[in-house]
Amino acid sequence: MRHAHTVEQVRAAEAELAGQPLMDRAVAGLAATCARLLRERRGRVYGSRVLVLAGSGDNGGDALFAGAALARRGAAVSAVLLSPEKAHRAALAALRATGGQVTTDQNVGLADFARADLILDGIVGIGGRSGLRPAAAPYATAPRTGLLVAVDLPSGVDADTGEVAGAALRADLTVTFGTHKPGLLIDPGAGHAGPVQLVPIGLRPPAAPVQALQHADLAALLPRPGAESDKYRRGVLGVRAGSERYPGAAQLVVAGALHGGAGAVRYLGRPGAEVVRRHPEVLLGDGRVQAWVVGPGSGEATVEALDATLAAEVPVLVDADGLTELARRGPGALAGRTAPTLLTPHTGEAARLLGGAATAERCAAARLRTARELADRYGATVLLKGSTTVVARPDGTARVNPTGTSWLATAGSGDVLAGLAGALLAAGLDPFDAASAAAYLHGLAGRLAAAGGNRLPFGSVHSTVGDRGEAPVTARQVAAALPAAWRNATAPQGGSQQDAAGLGD
């Protein structure tokens, strides 16, 4: 499991330990990574051009100390100070002692920025507030040819949420200290961070409010039939989705559920005959189920379907048309529920559920806040879909999904996710686990489908754009790739597969 902590938690954990040794460990890890990158890019550190962007605090101090370490190995290091009167004195002295050049002229800084082999972004770290200041803003868009390494986090990204007010630096790699920060894992911040490397410095923070599953966590969560299992014990999922107008949604929910491990799927809806023609495994008509999926493409049948499922004393996943109807009814509609409810909105549906001034764009810009607010208001677990999928519980704990590809932004792929998450609910997983496991598996299936027979490329799994070597996928292909994703995640050699998928730490 990856754990991400808030700035407040990091500060408290830091206060329990002495300061300088922490900074020394941080700087050693940062300098080692920069040296490795320079060797990979230029063959050696000696003679490389390195630029340090240094702000007013310890983040700038880390960057300047790392610059000094690289200068001692023969790199030509220069630093531009963004708050000259407040720059970290000891670190600045260390850089000067190695012969490093220091400037306060932003025009010189921008010229160095354009030609450096490696840039260290030490403008601001966890002390940052409300976006980049004017002196730093040009570096967010200035042209460069070298690699940019963010120190602790990309300047301009909110550490606790991933929100970006205005501009932020865009890194090729982020070296973060002690623990992950939520903002490194959630878009738009995650998109600015690139792959994240964690340097342990001995912090002992409390339980993490934000987590990200990894392969081993998924393998532990996914249900496996035992010797005594039968289809009922594995979980029967009831599906009220699809309509005469949208028969495809029913097919895709059912495909997600069947490939996602449901013991059986019971379908209640108009296009029943068509569903059975495509999926002969499906049962039709009333009967016992362990969970419901309601809403995808349910069109004119939505009101009746929502009434029936919300009255049931089993977990219910509400998606798509079901969410639009729920938004009309408001949070009170879930007040009488005796079993858990899982809501799976995209940002447009989230805005509808929140009402007021909420828009899809605002929800996308503040994913963690949106998922938490919805979970709190509706007293339900919420899976907010999109470039970073966030799952939140009413108590505010959250999981962010590290798998996926933007090729998943294709009609019907959300229906497949609903069926898959429903199957995991029916198997007995609690909604938080069912939702986060489903998002992970769905993202992995999307990547496997997009990669075709190719090995998944190494690198960030967090894709706001499809990786090179990936091709478009259809929702049906995503459903069909679920068993391969399941095998990939649970195979004994999961670790190496994980590396191949770029899912490691």
Ligand X SMILES: NC(=O)C1=CN([C@@H]2O[C@H](COP(=O)(O)OP(=O)(O)OC[C@H]3O[C@@H](n4cnc5c(N)ncnc54)[C@H](OP(=O)(O)O)[C@@H]3O)[C@@H](O)[C@H]2O)[C@@H](O)CC1
Ligand Y SMILES: Nc1ncnc2c1ncn2[C@@H]1O[C@H](COP(=O)(O)OP(=O)(O)O)[C@@H](O)[C@H]1O
Rg over CA atoms, the chain = 25
State the Cα angle at 271 between 249 and 244, rounded to 5°: 75
4 near K ion, rule: CB under 5 A: no
- What b/e readout covers 15-50, taking b as 16+ CB neighbours within 10 angstroms? eeeeeeebbebbbebbbebbbebbeeebeebeebbb
Nearer to ligand X, 21 or 472 (CB): 21
Cβ atoms of residues 94 and 65 within 8 Å: yes
Residue 361: partners with Cβ closer than 8 Å, 6 or more residues away: 347
189 is annotated as contributing to ligand binding: no
**Tokens 């996928």 sit at which residue?**
473
- Interaction partner, residue 10 (ligand Y, ligand X, K ion, none; CB < 5-8 Å by kind): ligand X
Using CB under 6 A, which residues numbered 105 to 144 contact ligand Y? none
Going residue by residue from 300 to 329, which x/- string records binding to ligand Y, judged by CB under 6 A? --------------------x---------
37, 70, 75, 136: residue in contact with ligand X (rule CB under 6 A) = 136
Taking the least distance from each CB to ligand Y, the nearer of 411 and 471 is: 411
Cα 318 to chain centroid distance, Å, stands at 22
Does residue number 59 form part of the binding site for ligand X (CB under 6 A)?
yes
> Is position 346 an interface residue for ligand Y (rule: CB under 6 A)?
yes
Residue 149 or 333: the one with the smaller Cβ distance to K ion is 149
Instruction: Label the pairing between strands 236-240 and 210-212.
Output: unpaired
- Quick check: 83 binds ligand X (CB under 6 A)? yes
d(CA 182, CA 218): 20
> Angle 58-72/19-42 helices, nearest 10 degrees?
50
Instruction: Say which entry of ligand Y, K ion, ligand X, none residue 406 contacts (CB below 5 to 8 A, set by partner kind).
Output: ligand Y
Contact range with ligand Y by CB under 6 A, out of 55-63, 178-186, 235-243, 383-391: 383-391
Contact 129, 160 (CB under 8 A): no
Q: Which is nearer to ligand Y, 236 or 383 (CB)?
A: 383
- Contacts with ligand Y by CB under 6 A: the residue count is 18
From 51, 77, 102, 151, residue interacting with K ion (rule: CB under 5 A)? 151
Q: Which stretch binds ligand Y (CB under 6 A): 65-73, 126-134, 235-243, 385-393?
A: 385-393
SS3 of residue 118 by DSSP: strand
Report how far residue 256's alpha carbon sits from residue 476's, in angstroms, rounded to the nearest whole number: 9
- State the minimum distance, in angstroms, from the CB of residue 63 to ligand X: 8
In sign, the C-alpha dihedral spanning 295, 298, 301, 303 is positive
- Told to check if 414 binds ligand Y by CB under 6 A, we report yes
Angle between helix 58-72 and helix 89-97 axes, rounded to 10 deg = 10
Of the candidate residues 34, 51, 57, 247, the single one contacting ligand X (CB under 6 A): 57
Contact between 155 and K ion by CB under 5 A: the answer reads: yes
Name the residue with tokens 């491990």: 261
Binding site for ligand X (CB under 6 A): 10, 14, 22-23, 26, 55-60, 62, 83, 123-129, 131-133, 136, 151-152, 177-178, 201, 203
Binding site for K ion (CB under 5 A): 121, 125, 151, 155
- Residues in binding site for AMP: 385-389, 414
Binding site for ligand Y (CB under 6 A): 320, 346, 385-387, 389, 404-406, 408-409, 411-415, 417, 442
